[in-house]
Amino acid sequence: MIEIVCTDCVKALSEMKPGMLDVVVTSPPYNLGINYDCEYDDAMPRQDYLNWIVDVSYAVYNALSDQGSFFVNVGSKPTDPMIPFEVLHVMSRMFKLQNTIHWVKSISIGEQSVGHYKPINSERFINDCHEYIFHMTKTGKVSLDRMAVGVPYADQSNVKRWSGKNNVRCRGNTWFIPYDTIQSREDDRPHPATFPAELPEMCFRLHGLDRIKWACDPFVGIGNSAIAAKRVGIPNFVGMDLSPTYCRRATDMLKEEADAV
């Protein structure tokens, strides 16, 4: 059952049965002045925003199982680079930081570049080509299915040397996941700040699909995490958002995904 609910996530999470959720994957508003299609103010006074993040975190903590994973995607901008770390700091009142993953949206190796980014015209700052994914748990000791998002060994002789499982190794904490062409163009995006479905899909797989009965995205936006949950066969997923427009779009995208199969 994949469900999209137009609601305030703090209230909805607080009403869930304690420990009900196995995985929460989300990207909360960054408080960087983004114009969302709802009454939410994405340019709150900083302390008000952090206090709200604490409220969200407590609500997630209550709904998450003791062996659950909370994946939080947080970005920044060059003139406000501290916001991801401030969000992490207040969330750490409840959760342990178990892993820090770098979502690489664009990368250049030698003279070759792949992926998409928003160019920055500045004499002070370089182009911002990545965001953080903080993997939070209640204990810092949650087992993961690392090889579910593993990569093949380039040198097959390393398989035996490092006890590789099925010829793959741990991917590590840098994940290159580019936007598709439409999502990378702001004028064509139905939501101003969303991640590709491949990102929550990898989070689900890393936690271990066989251990996920219930998953949630408290800020589901246009539904990419819901699409990811459907693709990997998670039995129950609930996505929440304040915007009726985004909820309708998420529902439509789920239907389009089902029709495409």
Dist. CA 150–CA 148, nearest whole Å:
6
DSSP 8-state assignment for residue 146: G
The CATH number assigned to the domain holding 242 equals 3.40.50.150
Question: How long, in residues, is the chain?
Answer: 261
Dist. CA 161–CA 123, nearest whole Å:
47
Confidence of residue 119 (pLDDT cuts 50, 70, 90): confident
pTM of the model: 0.88
Q: 182-220, pLDDT tens digit by residue?
A: 444 444 455 445 789 999 999 999 999 999 999 999 999
Dist. CA 76–CA 63, nearest whole Å:
27
Number of domains in the chain: 1
> Which pLDDT belongs to residue 221?
92
> 93: how many CB neighbours lie within 10 A of its CB?
10
Q: What is the 3-state secondary structure (H, E, C) of 29-68?
A: CCCCCCCCCCCCCCCCCHHHHHHHHHHHHHHHHHHEEEEE
Which residues, in sequence order, are bridge partners of residue 74?
Answer: 132
Q: 160-192, pLDDT tens digit by residue?
A: 555 555 788 899 999 999 886 544 444 445 544
CA-to-CA separations, 15 to 8, 19, 102, 218, 240, in angstroms, rounded: 11, 11, 32, 13, 13
**Domain membership of residue 178 as a residue range:** 2-260
> Which pLDDT belongs to residue 97?
98
> 166: how many CB neighbours lie within 10 A of its CB?
8
Q: 20-56, pLDDT tens digit by residue?
A: 999 999 999 877 656 656 565 667 889 999 999 999 9
Answer yes or no: is pLDDT of 11 > 90: yes
> Which pLDDT belongs to residue 116?
83
